[in-house]
Structure 1
Amino acid sequence: MKKILIIAVLVGATFVQAQAQRRGNQEINPEQLAERMTERMTEKLNLSEVQKEQVHALHLEEAQKRKAAWEERRETMESMKAEREAYREKIAAVLSPEQKETWKSLQEENRERMREGRRGQGPRGRNPQRPAPSDNQ
C-alpha cells in the first residue's frame, strides 16, 4: 500500500511540475488581464474607442478585485494550516508515545477513507450507489 501511495505522490508531483512549466510560473497581473480581455471584446464586438476605454476600466477593476480576493484566500488557508499544525502539536504533547503511534495510524485511516469516498463519487460528486434526488419533489 505504501508503494502505491509513493507512486501516486510522484505521479502527482510530476503532473504539477509539468503544469507549472507550461504556465511559465508567472502570474498575469490585473493590467495584462484587463488588456487581453478588452482586446478580445474589441475584436469580437467591434467596440468604439469610448466603449473600449470603458470596458477596459471595468475589466481592470474586476481583475484587481479578483486578485485581492485570491490573496485573501491564500492568507486564510496559510493561517488555517498553521492553526491545524499548532493543534496537532498540542495534542501530541498530551499523548504518550504509544498513543501518538495509534493516533497517527488513525489519521492515516481517515485520510484513506476520505480518498476512497472521493473515488466512489460519480458525476457531480454523487455516490453512484445512491440515486440522485428527483426534481419533481
Structure 2
Amino acid sequence: MSFKPGDTVHIIPLKKSGLVSRLLKPGHYQVTLGSMQITCRETDLESRTRKIKATATPESVLPPSSKEKIRRLDLHGLRVAEAMNQVESAINRAILCNQERLEILHGIGSGKIKEALHRYLEQLVVVKNFKLEPSNPGVTVIYF
C-alpha cells in the first residue's frame, strides 16, 4: 500500500499514530510523530482507516480529516521550511472548518520560525490579525 502526504498512519513498531509528511524514496516515508519527524519503511506502516472496531463510536477511531478542527500547531524541533509547510496546512484546515483562531507554538529559540511565520501571516488576506500570546512569547495566535 502506498501513502500520500497528509495520510494518518499507524507506526507498527512504535504502536503510535502519525501523519505522512512526504515520500523520501520508494518504500520510505517521512512521518510526523508529535513534534518529531521520523523515517519509516512502508512495511512498518498501516493505514488508520483499517483499524475501525465494530463496537467503537466512529469519532473515536476515524483518522483526522482535512475538515477536523485544529486548535494548536506545535512547531518545536522543526526547521523553518518544514514548519512553514505545516503552518500552511494548518491554516488551510482552520479556514475549511470556519475557525476563528489558531495557536502556533513556535517557541522562543533563535526566533527564525517566528519571523518567517509573521512575514507569511502579513501576506495572507484571510488572516484578520495575529499577535504573540501575552503570557507566552513562544506562541502566536492567529485570528481569521
Range of TM-score over shorter length: under 0.3
TM value normalised by structure 1: 0.21
Point out the structure with the larger helix share.
1
Q: Which has the larger radius of gyration?
A: 1
